[in-house]
Amino acid sequence: MARHASALKRARQNEARRLRNRMTKTRLKNVAKAVRQEIAAQNPETAQARLKQAQALIDKAAKKRTLHKRTAARKVSRLARQVNRLKAS
């Protein structure tokens, strides 16, 4: 365990960041799941709306560096491709 004041502060900051990142990542998983559920239910309009929501949250997470920007782009791309496939069919 940390002993110096600066090390104790760094430990507190790291714990706060860890919890914030975990909360964000959990939320991202839930919105992606909601998009996939709408795709499975064959609802292109609601799937598109959920995709827009998911894209905003994923991009925000990348901006705050919770996710790497390429990981975020990949997630958005895969979800968008599934929604577009649903709309085309």
pLDDT value at residue 1: 75
The 8-class DSSP code of residue 42 comes to T
With b for 16 or more beta-carbon neighbours within 10 A and e for fewer, the 52-72 pattern comes to: eebbebbbebbeeebbeeeeb
- Quote the domain boundaries for residue 58: 28-88
Domains in the chain, number: 1
- Euclidean distance between CA atoms 44 and 80, whole angstroms: 11
Best CA proximity match to 66, nearest among 8, 25, 15: 25
Query: Is pTM beyond 0.85 here?
Result: yes
Q: Is the Cβ–Cβ distance between 26 and 17 less than 8 Å?
A: no
Provide the residue-wise pLDDT of the chain in tens; the chain has 89 residues: 778 999 999 999 999 999 999 999 999 999 999 999 999 999 999 999 999 999 999 999 999 999 999 999 999 999 999 999 999 98
The CATH number that applies at residue 45 is 1.20.58.110
Please give the pLDDT value at position 12.
96
Domain-located, residue 23: no
pLDDT of residue 58: 98
Q: In this structure, what token pair is assigned to residue 26?
A: 């959990």
